[in-house]
Amino acid sequence: MIRGEDEARQELGPYLERMYRCVDEALCDYLKQDYAGLKNRLTKRSDSSNRNDLIVAKLLGEFDGDAEVAFLKYYRYSMLIGNFSIRVKKFDESFRPNNIYIQLVLDFLTQQHSTLPGMEPPTNIDLGYKFNDEMETEYGVFLRCPEGRKSYRWYMEISGGEAASEPIRMVDSPPPSGLDTERLAKPKREEVEHDEANQDAGTDN
Read off the pLDDT of residues 150-190 as tens digits, 9 standing for 90 and up.
Answer: 889 999 999 765 544 333 333 333 443 443 434 334 444 44
- For residue 126, pLDDT over 60 is answered with yes
How far is it, in rounded angstroms, from Cα 12 to Cα 16?
Answer: 6
43 touches 50 (CB < 8 A): yes
pLDDT tens digits along 66-92: 999 999 876 678 899 999 999 999 998
How far is it, in rounded angstroms, from Cα 173 to Cα 5?
Answer: 15
Q: What is the pLDDT of residue 173?
A: 37
Hey, which bits of the chain come out as E strands?
69-73, 77-81, 84-90, 123-131, 139-146, 152-159, 162-163, 169-170
Q: What is the pLDDT of residue 48?
A: 86
